[in-house]
Chain A
């Protein structure tokens, strides 16, 4: 281009020009998309900010405006976060959630990526969470699982499923690629069957059918049954991811280990699994993302998770009209968690990808 010399080569103007207005077609497309984006943003801002009511307990102002009624959130946000947890004890629920989030954040630090560090971290975090929530020790008032709810219940289910599902997934993956044909085949069948069922039907089954099928002592609370069901579902998906990671290993690795006379458990524990996990890290993160999102299904089988408590928060005589604001608030909560995790996954994928080349 003749006029390219007039500008420094990588000026902001030039960059923008190359990205947005390289050809006339590009310019038109850019303008169209820009107009579309501006229109959406403007309508959103109009509703969510300009005409919205923010302060707590402003039902009448809400009824009058055509904008969003954030008043329902500022009045009843505690229900969404803590559900039915006793009001004066909600600080425990808050700390417990923070602990779990810190544990999740710490596990993103590569220093923790080893079999000696990660499981203890999660078990400790989970134990702290459980003790804080459940109480009954250290002078804390006992609060049973029936009164847990809101975001803390969602986090609890997610953490419990991950903690239970991961070891299960490793076992499943090892059985699935066992040298013994019948074990491998049976496991493949079990994994395939569970993977082709909808999560909702598995949760439903564990919630209401299992009590008929299990002996008395094994029934347990509905919450734990559903967690076991979900963990099983998680494990079947995760097992295939781990198996994928194992398949990516060169056969020579295991053969070399065999030649060195390592036992099966040493081979698996020191050679195969660490590398398989490294290979399978991005899809594993993705699996966690999906698992967290799908926790929201438990509301359908009658749990007071963040979705249900959102509905309860807008479901009384005062706030029945402000359902959509509650949905948006709950969506934002999910977005913060899921977006962070998925961005981290993408970052990891890039980093590992760079390392491999």
Chain B
């Protein structure tokens, strides 16, 4: 926390000047802090955010974001059990909690915006999810597009980038609608179901999740085709911490790499025993290099896959066919399946 500016400068200089194969982790990097602590503090939720952070009947966290936290912890420490703390925080506390060190990384479906990136001094990893903002409206209203809700009211979550996206969209299309904001996802959905608002803006995955789950049945609601905006959700770490950011990026890349190469939690042991290629051999830590350059153990990717599986598995389990939501993966698939995601090169 109390970083001495001098130490920071010295260490960045060190990292820059030492062009050696074994990467030097800066002494004040969050990576070092986390490793010394032996525990990762990851962001949770106060309540539930459907599909990404919710609580099962036994009181365990589950969801896409939670699985990414688990993957990160497993990559850092071999397995997440005992090495991961999910800290419940509210939306409004994401940034202060990260800056104050209450959590090490924000994995809380947070969109990449310029003001967050610059003014708040945050650094984003590559996106792990692309969410479109769409509007769901009551089918009985017969609205075909958002313009049909002119004069109506639209509900949206407070203090998020969704709120801005909606404001901009309404302004450009000159649609007059009352905009209502809600601090809490549960209240937002209730307000919509109780017809407090004609339309509810959410980020498409949770919109579809809410639709499946509607008290009056999924058919009573339509998702309007207007895409208000796209939001690229990334993992957020403090700025000027390249080592810690690298870990996030390579964690995500590894999950896609495993998916592209058909490595799953079920067959990872088998593949590790008989690696089909030198790249995969390196990826799973049979030959050294893949982890060491990041300051991690070489079998870190293996540990992650072993625990949470590849990206497809994470998606299916929490949002896709393995869950009640049964959401098609669409744009969030790998490039080879019509999506926008891709693994980086493992060399």
Residues of A within 8 A of B (CB): 63, 75-76, 78-79, 82-87, 90, 144, 146-147, 149, 207-212, 215-216, 219, 222, 299-304, 308-309, 311-318, 320-321, 323
> What are 13 residue pairs bridging A and B, where the CB atoms are less than 8 Å apart in the complex?
A79-B55, A84-B86, A86-B60, A149-B59, A207-B93, A299-B46, A302-B89, A302-B90, A302-B93, A304-B46, A311-B47, A317-B323, A318-B324
| In-complex Cβ contact of B186 among A210, A216, A317, A323 (8 A) | A323
Please, how many residues of chain B have a CB less than 8 angstroms from a CB on the other chain? 44
User: Which residues from B are CB-within-8-Å of A316?
Assistant: 48, 50, 54-56
Residues of B within 8 A of A (CB): 1-2, 41, 44-48, 50, 54-61, 85-90, 93, 96-97, 99-102, 184-186, 189-190, 193, 209-210, 212-213, 215, 323-325
Query: How distant is the Cα of A147 from the Cα of B92 in the complex, in angstroms?
Result: 21
Does the CB pair B47–A208 fall under 8 Å? no
Chain A nearest CB from B204 CB (Å) reads: 16
Chain B nearest CB from A83 CB (Å) reads: 6
Main secondary structure of the interface of A (DSSP, over half): helix
Identify which of A211, A300, A316 gathers the most chain B CB atoms within 10 Å of its CB: A316
User: Which residues from B are CB-within-8-Å of A84?
Assistant: 55, 59-61, 86, 88
Identify which of B46, B57, B59, B323 gathers the most chain A CB atoms within 10 Å of its CB: B59
Query: How distant is the Cα of A301 from the Cα of B1 in the complex, in angstroms?
Result: 21
Does the CB pair A219–B93 fall under 8 Å? no
Does the CB pair A83–B59 fall under 8 Å? yes
Does the CB pair B1–A321 fall under 8 Å? no
Q: A302-B46, A318-B324 are in contact. Are A208 and B93 (CB under 8 A)?
A: yes
Q: A146-B88, A302-B89, A317-B325 are in contact. Are A216 and B2 (CB under 8 A)?
A: yes
| In-complex Cβ contact of B46 among A75, A146, A308 (8 A) | A308
Chain A nearest CB from B32 CB (Å) reads: 15
Chain B nearest CB from A84 CB (Å) reads: 5
Does the CB pair B190–A323 fall under 8 Å? yes
Nearest opposing residue in chain A for B100, CB measure: A211
User: Which residues from B are CB-within-8-Å of A83?
Assistant: 59
User: Which residues from A are CB-within-8-Å of B96?
Assistant: 208-209, 211
User: Which residues from B are CB-within-8-Å of A86?
Assistant: 59-60
